[in-house]
């Protein structure tokens, strides 16, 4: 049963109904009444909007999945069909991950999540390898180009063999 404020509200709401209405109250009707009382339309609209504009951004893929699942209940009309749910999740992925995942046209939400995790993990490994490779390279950006510009030039050593020197005595 309900407790606290919700319990008091339900007792009050129950007293205002006739006994026949109270006994024939379905679970769906109860949920509608409870939602009207404790989850106002403005808040519902806000949560739906939050879902519609959800993107992965800097979130880890598991965090994005959790947030997607949490907010998807506010836009059930978009996620009630498995394929639509998969496409909604895809649209919020980072562009570099989305490009690879969407090229596979995966039919289920679970498959899209798994592929996104694989792509993300692979991408992290590639970045680590690139960083390790790049750390062994010489960094020319920090060098003073003016000092280097003439350093490796061959100095003039006079006339080349076989050429006459046009020196007048």
Tens digit of each residue's pLDDT, the chain (169 residues): 778 888 888 888 888 877 777 778 888 888 888 888 888 899 999 999 999 999 999 999 999 999 999 999 999 999 999 999 999 999 999 999 999 999 999 999 999 999 999 999 887 655 655 666 666 666 556 555 555 555 666 666 666 666 655 666 5
Q: Give the C-alpha distances (Å, rounded to integers) separating 39 from 45, 50, 77, 83.
A: 10, 16, 18, 29
State pTM to two decimals. Answer: 0.62
- Residue 43 has what pLDDT? 93
């Amino acid at each position: 049963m309900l407790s606290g404020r919700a319990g008091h509200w339900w007792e009050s709401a129950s007293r205002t109904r006739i006994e026949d209405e109270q006994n024939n109250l379905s679970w769906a009707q109860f949920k509608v009444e409870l939602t009207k009382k404790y989850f106002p339309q403005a808040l519902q609209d806000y949560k739906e909007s939050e879902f519609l504009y959800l993107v992965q951004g800097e979130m880890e893929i598991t965090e994005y999945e959790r947030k997607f699942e949490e907010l998807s209940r506010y836009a059930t009309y978009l996620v009630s069909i498995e394929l639509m749910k998969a496409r909604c999740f895809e649209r919020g992925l980072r562009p570099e991950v989305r490009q690879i995942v969407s090229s596979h046209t995966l039919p289920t939400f679970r498959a899209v999540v798994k592929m996104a995790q694989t792509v993300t993990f692979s991408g992290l490994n590639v970045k680590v390898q690139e960083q390790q490779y790049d750390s062994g390279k010489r960094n020319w950006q920090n060098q003073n180009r003016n000092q280097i510009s003439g350093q490796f030039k061959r100095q003039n050593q006079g006339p080349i063999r076989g050429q006459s020197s046009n020196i007048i005595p």
